Each structure stands twice: as C-alpha cells, then as structure tokens.
C-alpha cells in the first residue's frame, strides 16, 4: 500500500477497503448483552460527549465531539467496560447462569459471592485494563493478580491496588512478554486469564472484552443523534493491540452500514503494530518494527490482537502514526480549550487523536493530509478520549510544565 510521510505524521491509505458487513460478534444484536449488563450497574451513567465548537471553528470543520471516558465508572478510563463484561461472562459460564438475565448486583449477593470465592483472575496490563479487572474481581470478592510491564508507573500500580485488593507486580519484561507470563501463570495455577488481546487458541474471552468496549460506541451513536447528527463523517481511533479500535470500528461498520465514516487508526510512531501490519500488506498481523518507549502507556503494545486485526485490515481507511509530542499537544489543547469549549482531562493515550486532528487540520500546514482525509467545512469528527489523568504526575508535567512540547 502507498505510504505517505506528511511532516512528522506517517500515513498509509487502505487500498483494499471492504464495503461488506462488519463481523457478526459486533452486530447490534450480539453486543446488546454487554450494553444491558453495563446499563444495569448502579454506577452506570453514559460518559459525556463533549462538543468542541471553538476547536471546530479553528480547524474549519463543522463539528468535533470528544467522548470523555475519564468519567467511566470512577476508573478514569474506558477499559473497565471490557474487563467487567468478560468477568461476568466467565462467571456465568462457570456457574451455569443465564447471561441474558443476570446482573452484576445479583452476583454480589452473599449466596453467589460464596460460590465465587475460589475463582482467581489474572491479567497483564499497562494500567487501565488491569484496573478494570481488579475492580470487577474485587466487587465480587475474588482474588486477582495483575502484572505490569517494566517501566510502568508505580502510581498506576498503586491505583490498581486501591480499587480492588489485587496483587500487582511490575515485571522486568516488556508488555508482550508480560502477557505471556500472565498466560503461563493462569495455566499453571488454574486461574482465569482475562486478557485484552488475543492469539491463536485464546479468542473467546478477548471477544467478550471487545464486545464490552462497544458500549462507549453505542452511547456515542445515540448522543450524536441527540445532537442532530445521523453519523460522524470522520472517526479517529487510537490503537495499542487494536482491540478497542477494532471493536469500535466493527460496531460502527454494522451500525452505519451505507453511511460509514472515514476511520483512521492512530498509533505512537515508536511502537506501531497496526501501522506495520498495513505496511507489510500481506493480510497478516505483524509485530511493530520498532519498540522504543512512548509516553502513551496504553498504546505501548507491539503485537496486534488477532481477533480485531482483520477488522482493522478490512474496514479502516487510514493508518497513521505520530510522535509523542502530538499526544502532549492534544492533552494541552483539551486541558486549556478554546473560548466557550469545555475542558476535558485527557491522558497520554486519550489525547493523541485530538492532537493529531489539530496537527492535520490546523493552520500550521499538513494541508495535504487534511485534503486526503476529506476534512472540510462539512466534516463531523468523533474522537474518543479513552482516559483521564491516569498518571497524574506526568499529566501535570505535560500540561502545566510544557513537557514534550512541539519541536517548532
Ligand atoms: C487509555 C487507553 N486508550 C487506548 C488503549 C488501546 O486499546 P487497545 O490495546 O485495545 O488497542 C488503551 C489500552 O490499554 C488504553 O489504556
């Protein structure tokens, strides 16, 4: 496929985009169980879809909407949607309960809690996913073990311990090897592995997780409608292993059928496995070419999720990668918005799409990519700020002290 380097943004246009239906497991029918489970939670509230008219005006587009996932379940990130739903599916299967009628609060009743006592959950995480799993396991009175890759912030580890009494360990291995370690521990000890990526032979639980993520897309579709928009014209989705991006893209492909938005997948240039897979262009998933550190901890993943790779391959329009300072730019723009716009607290992995949109469509230039993406005065852009200030110390450095400023 053709590769573009536009300033410091790398882009690949998908030349084999498929116009067919999205995957069945991400249809409206197949995902409504996950939406029902989430909506029955006592703490459930749709996260805000923030409209940024000041930013839209400055970029010359019709409207920009940012889904603020810092408000999700008090967990400061969207990830709990997947871990919680998968945990409930595992529990229901184990105890022979009906997924169509059960609720999380049923499972918190003493008679069920007693039966769940022996169940132990394990996962690897760069932060947000592990927090969701630890929280859900803790709510059910179950033990959880969470492994984090080397370089993980101790603050993020502590935040996981706080929500769910999980045992949390920062390892000396990178993300992908830490996932393999969690899988080995599950195998050895008979624990339940709740991992937010998949590989051959481990796909059922990741599918539940991915279905769980679609709740935020379903909310965004309804909220856009309420705001008077049938569909967005452009969606930017950030990717680590690509489970979130693939889940949301698959769901939107099914929901919007003939009126599909232009969808771009966004990764840090230091570790970009989806971009790399599109670049190799043999239809298969490939590990990232480079694995240098990035401030986008949630996107610091070198191997694509096998369940969602085919969705990203077949239905995305663009694959983009960019340096860390694009994400830092997005964090600052959302923290100190244009007059009249509401502030969104957005962390490193949450803000990269906002930063990138502003780089592509802003006055500085990169007009080439703006035109290639078809961004103009009729465009309605949907972004997902997938986390808040999950590393508050680093957030302050970026937002208040100008760390990772644009180099020009
Ligand atoms: C805040 C945030 N955004 C986006 C992602 C990317 O999700 P995925 O790894 O499914 O691509 C993650 C993953 O951990 C994350 O924590």
Nearest to 135, CA basis, from 183, 87, 69, 198: 87
pTM, full prediction: 0.96
**3 state DSSP class of 98:** coil
- Ligand 1: centre distance to CA 173 (Å): 19
**Which pLDDT score is estimated for 336?**
97
Q: Are 266 and 322 in contact (CB under 8 A)?
A: yes
Cα separation of 112 and 230, whole Å? Answer: 43
Q: Is 389 helix (H, G, I), strand (E, B) or coil?
A: coil
CB distance 243 to ligand 1 below 6 Å: yes
Catalytic residue among 126, 314, 317, 389: 126
What per-residue confidence (pLDDT) applies to 186? 97
Q: What is the mean pLDDT of the chain?
A: 94
Q: In this structure, what token pair is assigned to residue 338?
A: 């244009």
Q: Is 349 in the pocket of ligand 1 (CB under 6 A)?
A: yes
Q: Can you tell me the distance from the alpha carbon of 210 to that of 9, in angstroms, rounded to the nearest whole number?
A: 28
Q: For ligand 1, what atom is nearest to the CA of residue 384? A: 3
Ligand 1 atom nearest 77 alpha carbon: 1
Other CB atoms closer than 10 Å to residue 42's CB: what's the count?
A: 8
Dig out the tokens for 49 from the structure. 């879809």
pLDDT value at position 109? Answer: 87
Please identify every stretch of the chain with a pLDDT value under 50, giving residue numbers as ranges: none
Of the candidates 79, 131, 207, 370, the residue annotated as catalytic is: 79
- The pLDDT score that the predictor gives to residue 217 is 98
Residue closest by Cα to atom 9 of ligand 1: 240
Give the single-character DSSP code of 379.
-
pLDDT digits (tens, 9 = 90+) for 389-402: 999 999 999 999 99
Nearby residues of 32 by Cβ (< 8 Å), 6 or more positions away:
none
Predicted local distance difference test score (pLDDT) of residue 379: 98
The pair phi, psi for residue 123, each rounded to 5°, is -160, 160
pLDDT score at 6: 66
Could you identify the atom of ligand 1 that is nearest to the CA of residue 126? 14
C-alpha 244 – ligand 1 centre gap (Å): 6
Query: What is the Cα–Cα distance from 382 to 205, expressed in whole angstroms?
Result: 28
Question: What Å distances lie between residue 104 and 110, 153, 253, 348, 397, CA to CA?
Answer: 13, 30, 29, 31, 38
| Cα–Cα distance list, 32 to 38, 103, 215, 359 (Å) | 10, 14, 9, 36
- In the annotation, is 17 catalytic? no
Q: Tell me, yes or no, if 126 is annotated catalytic.
A: yes
113 C-alpha to ligand 1 centroid (Å): 30
What the chain holds in terms of domains, given with CATH numbers, is 3-77+214-401 (3.40.50.1100), 80-195 (3.40.50.1100)
CA of 79 to the centre of ligand 1 (A): 7
């Amino acid at each position: 496929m053709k590769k573009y380097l536009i300033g410091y943004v790398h882009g690949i246009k998908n030349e084999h985009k498929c116009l067919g239906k999205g995957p069945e497991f991400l249809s409206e029918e197949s995902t409504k169980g996950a939406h029902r489970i989430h909506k029955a939670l006592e703490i459930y509230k749709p996260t805000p879809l923030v409209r940024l008219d000041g930013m839209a005006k400055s970029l010359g587009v019709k409207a920009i909407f940012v889904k603020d996932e810092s408000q999700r379940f008090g967990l400061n990130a969207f990830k709990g949607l997947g871990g919680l739903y998968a945990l409930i599916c595992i529990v229901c299967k184990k105890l022979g309960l009906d997924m169509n009628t059960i609720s999380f609060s049923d499972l918190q009743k003493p008679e069920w809690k007693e039966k769940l006592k022996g169940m132990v959950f394990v996962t690897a995480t760069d932060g947000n996913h592990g927090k969701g799993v630890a929280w859900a396991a803790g709510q059910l009175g179950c033990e959880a073990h969470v492994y984090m890759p080397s370089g993980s912030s101790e603050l993020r580890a502590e935040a996981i311990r706080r929500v769910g009494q999980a045992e949390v360990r920062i390892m000396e291995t990178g993300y992908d090897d830490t996932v393999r370690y969690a899988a080995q521990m599950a195998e050895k000890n008979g624990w339940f592995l709740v991992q937010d990526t998949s590989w051959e032979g481990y796909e059922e639980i990741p599918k539940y997780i991915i279905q769980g993520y679609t709740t935020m897309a379903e909310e965004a579709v309804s909220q856009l409608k309420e705001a008077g928009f049938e569909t967005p014209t452009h969606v930017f989705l950030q990717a680590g292993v690509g489970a979130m991006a693939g889940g949301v893209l698959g769901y939107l492909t099914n929901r919007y059928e003939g009126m599909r938005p232009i969808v771009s997948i966004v990764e840090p240039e230091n570790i970009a496995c989806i971009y790399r897979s599109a670049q190799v262009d043999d239809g298969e998933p490939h590990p990232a070419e480079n694995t240098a550190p990035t401030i986008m901890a949630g996107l610091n993943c070198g191997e694509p999720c096998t369940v969602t790779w085919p969705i990203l391959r077949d239905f995305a329009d663009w694959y983009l990668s960019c340096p860390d300072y694009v994400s830092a730019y997005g964090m600052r723009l959302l923290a100190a918005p244009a007059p009249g716009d509401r502030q969104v607290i957005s962390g490193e992995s949450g803000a990269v799409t906002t930063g990138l949109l502003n780089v592509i469509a802003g006055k500085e230039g990169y007009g080439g990519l703006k035109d290639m993406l078809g961004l103009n005065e009729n465009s309605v852009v949907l972004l997902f700020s997938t986390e808040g200030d999950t590393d508050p110390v680093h957030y302050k450095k970026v937002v208040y002290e100008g760390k990772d400023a644009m180099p020009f």
